[in-house]
A and B are shown apart, each in its own frame.
Chain A
Amino acid sequence: MTISTLTRGGAQREQQHCLRKMERVIIAMQDPDIGLKMRNQRLLITVIPHAMTGNDIMEWLIQKYNITDEEAGHLGGLLVQYGYIYPLKEPRSLILRSDDSPYRFQTPYFWTSSRWPASELDYAIYLAKKNIRKQGELVDYEKQNYNLLHKRINHTWDFVVMQAREQIRASKQRRKADRIVLECQEQAYWLVNKPCPGAFDVFDLGPERCNVLNSRVILNSSLLFFLLRISSVPNNSLSSHFLLSLSCVCSFMKFCDQYHQHDPIMSGCLPSNPWISDDTTHWTINTDLVGTPTRLRVERWSFSFMELLNDCLGRREFMTYLEKEFSGENLCFWEACEDLRHGESSKIILKVEEVYKTFLSPGAARWVNIDSKTMERTLEGIKQPHRFVMDDAQMHIYFLMKKDSYPRYLKSDLYKNMLSKAIVPQETKKSVFPFMRRQRHSSPSPAMVSQATEDNGKAKGAGPAATNSGTLS
């Protein structure tokens, strides 16, 4: 038994939210107090009531939402594209002109949200009406649609023509202004719902979403989840598990502040942003294993242990330091565990054996110092090797390095020398001829670099190095 706990399926779901919001805007625009001032508009010799100019619409949007001309134009344009406002002059051009071109609000009967999907029968009647009223009124794609419908619903064609004639007769009895308004409304509706091929189609949506799943199963797992959360802490209070908002919020500010200088979009980058200046120096001086790193880069290693390890140069420096202290095996062990965790399933058993032989067995060449409990658990786990069998040991060594070796490294001469040697590139002065474009050089593809190093018998994944510029052969 499946019960839909969600609203309608299909592509409609995606549209519901924005259509509702657009309708709210439209309703606000028509509010007697805060809405647009509408007036009569002259269309040829007829006077159309309740119309407004494109300019009015723009002004209202700018004022109500406190936005720029450009944004108001964009938003207004969308309201027109989705059929909530239609132009009186040049009705086939669904754009918002910010001049005195007249526009009207579409009647809710014809709103996109209320009458979708459009029925074939209604469309046939509409096209028939146009055809009857004036020969040659239908444009190419409409003629094609008309012919297609004529074939497809041929069995009800008499009904279509009869309805069309009836509607034309009924409309002749209306006042001219009303008749024109109704015709405009209907035309606008069909321009949105059956657009010219190639034009914007509001119903051009992605693949169907929201395949309803077995609600019972989901509710069961939700229930268990909530029960677990509430009962897993003493006194049924969650406060002991989760930090107070203030400290969390302050940590965001601290992080943003710390990384501010390192964020090229916020602070620019030296010597220049390659995407702006077409000069790739910024990348060449920051390659993975560059000879002399930049100051910003070396400073970043002091932000957190993760930053140091994530940078191959930083990691290499740290390894050098550890080896001086005769604790290099810690980092090697950690790397071997990472390789195990993220490597191929087929190599797990082999890797676990290697790690055991090299780091954990008594008298191992690079024996790591883990506490006895963790060692015991790990050795037990090795009997049935799996991807995560080294997790505990790896975590232990990681925190050992983080709490002990890492802070000492930052205080060491090795690091301090690195920092003082580090370069601070000069900011490129803006070119005297700003329109002169530099030649944009290609860089070797990482796939090629990797293949080459593999051929040389070195380890794969040395990282892409955009050292020499030059085209690929």
Chain B
Amino acid sequence: MRFSISPEMATQEVQPNETLSNLKAESDTLKTKLEDERAKLHDVELHQVAEKVDGLGQFIMKTRRTLKGHGNKVLCMDWCKDKRRIVSSSQDGKVIVWDAFTTNKEHAVTMPCTWVMACAYAPSGCAVACGGLDNKCSVYPLSLDKNENLAAKKKSVAMHTNYLSACSFTNSDMQILTSSGDGTCALWDVESGQLLQSFHGHAADVLCLDLAPSETGNTFISGGCDKKANVWDMRSGQCIQSFETHESDINSVRYYPSGDAFASGSDDATCRLYDLRADREVAIYSKESIIFGASSVDFSLSGRLLFGGYNDYTINVWDVLKGTRVSILFGHENRVSALRVSPDGTAFCSGSWDHTLRVWA
């Protein structure tokens, strides 16, 4: 039986004689106890069982498109459901919508702030959301009238007290989920800008989030500077699972296609796979020669491959089951800041501080 915590309980005043260090000690003890319980279930490693799986043959992926047009570091990108359009945002405040297939730019917006760290395409393909150092998330409907200034129709939706690190539409154009440097995530109604639910629990900046592809569609994951990856119930605002095995900031989290697990990429130069049903980390993807942090991760359609964009300008491709690195892709001339596989899995796109985006297939 589970009982719910109310947000008020978390902020209650504790007994005056309970010092901060006592609280921390108690928290640590419980954490160890939890880890011990989890360890009891640990009977086998993923890569051991995957020994009988066929290895992957020669792996060749090349840059098929290079999108040039940003005047500064590309910070974020997202695919449109039509499998070929992309929205990207950069340090100089520009948000560009491209038809990546033809490499044509279709729309451009200049945000009133720099460091636009988050951008997302609406499921209908008719709008984009973006935000960054302005602490807000704004939605721009995409107009096809060349004379119309997109900025005029801008709708301010989310308001945080620190930078916006990530945003994502839920199943429709009407709701947006955001994460922020203020340590919280929040769910917003786009039309009214109303806050529908807020999610507290991270001890520091939240850097990334991803929505679950599950049938009941009610959970999402977030990763932050407190090295934790949390699983949240969207309806109640509660944190239902938490994982803390990384040694540094978690820059990116992404669900495994079945929704039963998720991968994370961190500044500790590793990517890890966490199983939600077993409630533990089941794989680490790392190599001694990989020194720089992973900024962005995504799975191929079948979940067999994990693509990681790193701060050393490379993209490492991992065999999710066997835990080995399949390939390393060179091409970018500065750190890779964003990486997403296209909706139909035919390619993936990487955005980099070298001002370009590349589509690989």
Interface residues of A (CB under 8 A from B): 1, 3, 5-6, 13-14, 17-18, 21-22, 25, 61, 64-65, 67, 70-71, 74-75, 78, 200, 206-207, 209-213, 215-230, 232, 236-239, 241-246, 248-253, 255-260, 262-266, 269, 273-276, 280, 282-283, 286, 305-306, 338, 341-346, 387-388, 391, 395, 398, 440-443, 445-451, 460-461, 463-464, 466, 472
Interface residue from A228, A236, A264 paired with B3 (Cβ < 8 Å):
A228
Most buried by B among A65, A259, A286: A259
Closest B residue to A242 using CB positions: B279
B23 to A219, Cβ gap below 8 A?
A: yes
Q: How far is the CB of A210 from chain B (nearest CB, A)?
A: 5
User: Which residues between 101 and 125 of chain B lie within 8 Å of chain A, taking CB atoms?
Assistant: 101-102, 104, 106, 115, 117, 123-125
Question: Given A215-B20, A274-B101, A442-B99, A225–B201 Cβ distance below 8 Å?
Answer: yes
A3 to B247, Cβ gap below 8 A?
A: no
Additional A-B contacts beyond A265-B300, A466-B84 (19; CB < 8 A): A17-B247, A18-B267, A211-B182, A220-B11, A223-B30, A224-B10, A226-B34, A242-B279, A252-B258, A263-B345, A264-B301, A266-B56, A282-B346, A283-B84, A346-B191, A346-B192, A441-B102, A443-B101, A447-B141
Could you say which residues of chain A place their CB within 8 Å of the CB of B151? none
Could you say which residues of chain A place their CB within 8 Å of the CB of B163? 207
Q: How far is the CA of A306 from the CA of B31 in the complex (A)?
A: 36
A18 to B82, Cβ gap below 8 A?
A: no
Closest A residue to B97 using CB positions: A445
A75 to B99, Cβ gap below 8 A?
A: no
Q: How far is the CA of A207 from the CA of B247 in the complex (A)?
A: 20
Could you say which residues of chain B place their CB within 8 Å of the CB of A209? 181, 204-205, 207, 225, 249
Q: How far is the CB of B285 from chain A (nearest CB, A)?
A: 14
Chain B 201-244 interface 0/1 with A at a Cβ cutoff of 8 Å (1 = within):
11111010000010110000000011000000001000100100
Chain B 299-324 interface 0/1 with A at a Cβ cutoff of 8 Å (1 = within):
01111110000011110000011000
Could you say which residues of chain B place their CB within 8 Å of the CB of A1? 20
Question: Given A207-B163, A245-B42, A463-B81, A256–B304 Cβ distance below 8 Å?
Answer: yes
Could you say which residues of chain A place their CB within 8 Å of the CB of B189? 344-345
B277 to A243, Cβ gap below 8 A?
A: yes
B27 to A226, Cβ gap below 8 A?
A: yes
Could you say which residues of chain A place their CB within 8 Å of the CB of B37? 230, 236-239
Question: Given A18-B311, A282-B346, A344–B191 Cβ distance below 8 Å?
Answer: yes
The prevalent SS among residues of A at the interface is: helix
B278 to A243, Cβ gap below 8 A?
A: yes
Question: Given A61-B289, A210-B205, A344-B192, A221–B10 Cβ distance below 8 Å?
Answer: yes
Closest A residue to B317 using CB positions: A265
Most buried by B among A249, A260, A451: A249
Is B284 at the interface (CB under 8 A from chain A)?
no
Q: How far is the CA of A30 from the CA of B61 in the complex (A)?
A: 36
Is B64 at the interface (CB under 8 A from chain A)?
yes
Question: Given A224-B5, A344-B191, A248–B126 Cβ distance below 8 Å?
Answer: no
Count of interface residues, chain B, beta-carbon cutoff 8 Å: 134
Q: How far is the CB of A10 from chain B (nearest CB, A)?
A: 12
Q: How far is the CA of A447 from the CA of B23 in the complex (A)?
A: 53
A213 to B203, Cβ gap below 8 A?
A: yes
Q: How far is the CB of A459 from chain B (nearest CB, A)?
A: 11
A342 to B359, Cβ gap below 8 A?
A: no
Q: How far is the CA of A248 from the CA of B48 in the complex (A)?
A: 13
Q: How far is the CA of A379 from the CA of B341 in the complex (A)?
A: 43
Is B183 at the interface (CB under 8 A from chain A)?
yes
Could you say which residues of chain B place their CB within 8 Å of the CB of A244? 41, 43, 278
B192 to A249, Cβ gap below 8 A?
A: no
Could you say which residues of chain B place their CB within 8 Å of the CB of A239? 37, 40-41
Chain B 1-21 interface 0/1 with A at a Cβ cutoff of 8 Å (1 = within):
111010001111010000010
Question: Given A209-B181, A211-B162, A225-B201, A265–B41 Cβ distance below 8 Å?
Answer: no
A-B contact pairs, 7 of them (CB 8 A): A1-B20, A61-B289, A265-B341, A266-B305, A273-B347, A391-B235, A441-B102
B142 to A75, Cβ gap below 8 A?
A: no
Could you say which residues of chain A place their CB within 8 Å of the CB of B194? 345
Q: How far is the CB of B27 from chain A (nearest CB, A)?
A: 5
A245 to B280, Cβ gap below 8 A?
A: yes
Could you say which residues of chain B place their CB within 8 Å of the CB of A75? 289, 291, 312
Q: How far is the CA of A440 from the CA of B64 in the complex (A)?
A: 13
Interface residue from B1, B182, B215, B328 paired with A305 (Cβ < 8 Å):
B215
Q: How far is the CB of A53 from chain B (nearest CB, A)?
A: 20
Q: How far is the CA of A236 from the CA of B30 in the complex (A)?
A: 12
A219 to B260, Cβ gap below 8 A?
A: no
B278 to A345, Cβ gap below 8 A?
A: no
A252 to B171, Cβ gap below 8 A?
A: no
A255 to B258, Cβ gap below 8 A?
A: yes
Q: How far is the CA of A65 from the CA of B287 in the complex (A)?
A: 8
